[in-house]
Amino acid sequence: MTRAPALRLRLVTASLAWIVVSLAITGVLLVWLFRSHIEQRFDRTLYDHLEELAAAAEIGAGGAPTLSWEPADPRFKPALSGWYWEIHADGLMLRASPSLNGATLGVQGPGAGQPRSYQYAKGPAGEDLRLIVQDIVLPERPGALTIVVAGPCTDIHTDVRSFAGNLAMSLGVLALTLGMLVLLQVGYGLRPLCNMQSALNAVRLGSRDQLAESDSPAEVLPLIEEVNALLRQRQAMIERARAEAGDLAHALKTPIAAISNEAGRIDDEAGAIIQAEIGRMRQAVEHHLVRARAAAGFRSPHARAALDDVLADVQFSLQRLYPEQAVVVETPAGASFAGQADDLGEMIGNLADNAGKWARGRITIAAAVVGERLAVTVDDDGPGLDAAGQIAAVERGGRLDTEKPGHGLGLSIVAHLAELYGGRLTLSSSPLGGLHAELDLPAG
């Protein structure tokens, strides 16, 4: 399944595309406007020279047209300079600028009384020219004089290219600036979604149970309300499933106990088989009862359990059940567990009960808080377990203490509860000679 592009990528891509297109259109328009302005300014220069030639034109003594002076602009002097002027009438050249070097522009006039004409043409050296043509009528002369003034287009092209280069550089800097602003704008606009992601992660980790609605934008608020409704529905389903599982487990415990009592009266092989199957049923019921109870408080954002209180209860129970054992409890003041006190008591109690069954005379319970983790260790001076036994002891349904009273579920239940809280149970050899059990749990 193809993954859709990220929302940030879509917004940034669309914004940058609009910026590039808009700046490109703006650049083309500005270059066109600048070229028009340069042409108009160039045309005014040509027109000024044409006016000067028209003012200098007069009828000579023989009745022939002549010039009382020539334009003083030195650009009309060098041969083939690109700046030219000429006056002709009746198809004959009357006067021309020295720069033409005997050539002619060959341009026809627009006609007497017609407005001046601006044109593009080729010069005598093959260069591109911009020229102005106008027919004027002198007093006492029936025919019109055609005056042509031309200048090189290279001046126009040079100015336009220079402007276009500077404009491209400026628009490039503007595009980069706008691109950075788009990134900032998109990041700022998507910040509520990022905050929502962090809030959902906090819900998943159990540090909160709902998303905040008070400081949410109006566009995101409906989504947050729907997510909160979904979270409430999920919590209600968990509570209902827990209650139903608990009711079922409790409902099964009584008939299982009754069947076990009746089976105890059977002394033959059939009775032993029934007792074994009843044991498996009891294991399943206990296992699911613990899971159901833990699911309700699993990573609740408000769940906190004081370690001192739980260990005090565990120590009291150990001293009552195993008075011959020396129980030593070492724990930092104020340490707490991010979960239900019943679950913490279940885990430490099972570890302590296992240690009490096998210890020869000493049990040590210690705790430490490292960062956001709580480490609880239970050591005994009993026979301990080898590597294979340590692995089998935490497996679901595994039982190693068949010679001791109970159902053999303690260590597997502890391992399962620890996993529900994002922790784990580790078994190893104890410095006291027996089993070393270490719980890694989230600290409150």
* Co-location of 206 and 152 in the same domain: no
Q: Which of 212-226, 333-347, 371-385 has the highest mean pLDDT?
A: 371-385
Q: Choose between 288 and 20: higher pLDDT.
A: 20
The residue range of the domain holding 136 is 27-159
* Co-location of 138 and 31 in the same domain: yes
* C-alpha separations of 296 from 156, 301, 342, 345, 379 in Å: 82, 12, 12, 16, 30
What is the mean pLDDT of the segment spanning 255-278?
Answer: 76
pLDDT of amino acid 178 = 93
Q: Choose between 37 and 249: higher pLDDT.
A: 37
* Residues paired with residue 443 on neighbouring β-strands, in sequence order: 337
- Residues 6 or more apart whose CB falls under 8 angstroms from that of 415 comprise 394, 424, 425
Percent of the chain predicted with pLDDT > 70: 88
Report whether pLDDT(397) > 70. no
* Co-location of 295 and 308 in the same domain: no
Last residue of a domain, one of 242, 277, 302: 302
* Co-location of 273 and 333 in the same domain: no
CA 76/CA 156 separation, integer angstroms: 18
What is the mean pLDDT of the segment spanning 377-387?
Answer: 87
In a domain, 56, yes or no: yes
* Co-location of 298 and 318 in the same domain: no
In a domain, 182, yes or no: no
- Helix (H) or strand (E) run with residue 185 in it: helix 154-189
In a domain, 98, yes or no: yes
In a domain, 86, yes or no: yes
Last residue of a domain, one of 276, 302, 328: 302
Which domain CATH number covers 95? Answer: 3.30.450
Contact 53/147 with Cβ under 8 angstroms? yes
Confidence grade of residue 302 (pLDDT, cut at 50, 70, 90): low
* Co-location of 225 and 354 in the same domain: no
* Co-location of 297 and 379 in the same domain: no
Q: Which token pair is 153?
A: 């287009």
Report whether pLDDT(373) > 70. yes
pLDDT of amino acid 407 = 36
Total tally of structural domains belonging to the chain: 3
pLDDT mean across residues, the chain: 82
* Co-location of 377 and 444 in the same domain: yes
pLDDT of amino acid 305 = 81
* Co-location of 53 and 77 in the same domain: yes
pLDDT of amino acid 206 = 65
* Co-location of 150 and 207 in the same domain: no
pLDDT of amino acid 221 = 83
In a domain, 189, yes or no: no
Last residue of a domain, one of 302, 325, 357: 302
* Co-location of 327 and 286 in the same domain: no
Helices (H) and strands (E) in the chain, counts: 9, 14
3-state secondary structure of 100: helix
pLDDT of amino acid 408 = 44
Confidence grade of residue 71 (pLDDT, cut at 50, 70, 90): confident
* Co-location of 297 and 382 in the same domain: no
Which amino acid is present at 65?
P
Report whether pLDDT(399) > 50. no
In a domain, 11, yes or no: no
Which domain CATH number covers 375? Answer: 3.30.565.10
In a domain, 354, yes or no: yes
In a domain, 197, yes or no: no
CA 11/CA 381 separation, integer angstroms: 65
